[in-house]
Amino acid sequence: MPQHILIVGGGVGGTIVANLLARSLHHQEAEITLIDSTGKHVYMPGWLYLPFNHLGAESDQLVRPEHSLLNNRVHLVTGDVYKIDIQNRELYVHQSRGLDEIVGTGGASEAIYPYDYLVLATGARLVPSDLPGLAEGEGKWHHFYSAEGSLQLRQALETFAGGRIVITVGGIPYRCPPAPLEFTFLLDEWLRKRGLRDRTEIHYLYPLPRVFPIESVAAVATPLLEERDVKYTIFFNTEAVDTERKLVSSLEGEEIAYDLLVLVPPHRGAKVIEDSGLGDAQGWLPTDRATLEVKGMPHVYALGDATDLPVSKSGSAAHFEAKVLAARLGALVHGEELKGEEGLYDGEVMCFLETGQNKATQLVFNYENPPHPPRPSLYYHMEKQLFNRAYWHIVPQGLV
Ligand SMILES: Cc1cc2nc3c(=O)[nH]c(=O)nc-3n(C[C@H](O)[C@H](O)[C@H](O)COP(=O)(O)OP(=O)(O)OC[C@H]3O[C@@H](n4cnc5c(N)ncnc54)[C@H](O)[C@@H]3O)c2cc1C
Residue nearest atom 33 in ligand 1 by C-alpha distance:
9
Q: Are 74 and 267 in contact (CB under 8 A)?
A: no
Distance separating alpha carbons of residues 90 and 345, to the nearest angstrom: 27
Backbone torsions φ then ψ of 116, nearest 5 degrees = -95, -40
Q: How far is the CA of 185 from the centre of ligand 1 (A)?
A: 23
Which helix (H) or strand (E) element contains residue 236?
A: none
User: CB of 170 closer than 6 A to ligand 1?
Assistant: no
Does the Cβ of 14 fall within 6 Å of ligand 1?
A: yes
Q: Which atom of ligand 1 is nearest to the CA of 93?
A: 42
The answer to whether the CB of 321 is under 6 A from ligand 1 is no
Question: 215: closest CA among 52, 76, 372?
Answer: 372
Query: 6 burial class (0-12, 13-18, 19+ CB within 10 angstroms)?
Result: buried
Instruction: Give me the tens of pLDDT residue by residue for the chain, a chain 400 residues long.
Output: 899 999 999 999 999 999 999 999 999 999 999 999 999 999 999 999 999 987 555 666 899 999 999 999 999 999 999 999 999 999 999 986 544 444 444 456 899 999 999 999 999 999 999 999 999 999 999 999 999 999 999 999 999 999 999 999 999 999 999 999 999 999 999 999 999 999 999 999 999 999 999 999 999 999 999 999 999 999 999 999 999 999 999 999 999 999 999 999 999 999 999 999 999 999 999 999 999 999 999 999 999 999 999 999 999 999 999 999 999 999 999 999 888 888 999 999 999 999 999 999 999 999 999 999 999 999 999 999 999 999 999 999 999 9
CA of 305 to the centre of ligand 1 (A): 7
Contact 114, 4 (CB under 8 A): yes
Q: In the prediction, which pLDDT does 54 show?
A: 73
- What is the H or E stretch that residue 160 is in? none
Q: Is the CB of 180 under 6 A from ligand 1?
A: no
In sequence order, the β-bridge partners of residue 269 are 124
> In the Cβ-directed half-sphere of 55, how many Cα atoms lie within 13 Å?
25
Q: Which atom of ligand 1 is nearest to the CA of 122?
A: 34
Task: State the distance from the centre of ligand 1 to the C-alpha of 198, rounded, in angstroms.
Answer: 36
pLDDT of residue 103: 45
Is the distance from the beta carbon of residue 315 to the nearest atom of ligand 1 less than 6 Å?
yes
> Alpha helices of the chain — where are they, by DSSP H?
12-24, 99-102, 147-158, 179-193, 215-227, 271-275, 315-334, 378-394
Cα separation, 190 vs 195, whole angstroms: 9
From CA 311, how far away is CA 8, in angstroms rounded? 21
Reported pTM? 0.96
What is the model's pLDDT at position 55?
A: 58
Q: Is residue 354 in contact with ligand 1, taking CB distance under 6 Å? A: no
Is the minimum distance from the CB of 270 to ligand 1 under 6 angstroms? yes
Residues 6+ apart with CB under 8 A from 170: 128, 130, 131, 134, 238, 263, 264, 265, 266
Q: Which of 175, 184, 262, 354 most suits a substitution to test ligand 1, by most atoms within 8 Å of the C-beta?
A: 175
Q: Are strands 63-65 and 40-42 parallel, antiparallel or unpaired?
A: antiparallel
Amino acid at 71: N
Does residue 279's CB lie within 6 angstroms of at least one atom of ligand 1? no
Phi, psi of 309 (to 5 degrees): -65, 150
Question: What is the predicted pLDDT for the residue at 97?
Answer: 52
Q: What is the pLDDT of residue 59?
A: 67
Say how many C-beta atoms besides its own lie within 10 A of residue 384's C-beta: 18
Question: What radius of gyration do the chain's Cα atoms show?
Answer: 22
Can you give the pLDDT at residue 249? 98
| Parallel/antiparallel/unpaired status of strands 359-365 and 349-356 | antiparallel
Judge if the beta carbon of residue 243 lies within 6 A of ligand 1: no
Assess whether the C-beta atom of 384 lies below 6 angstroms from ligand 1.
no
User: Could you tell me if the CB of 153 is within 6 A of ligand 1?
Assistant: no
The predicted pLDDT at position 61 comes to 83
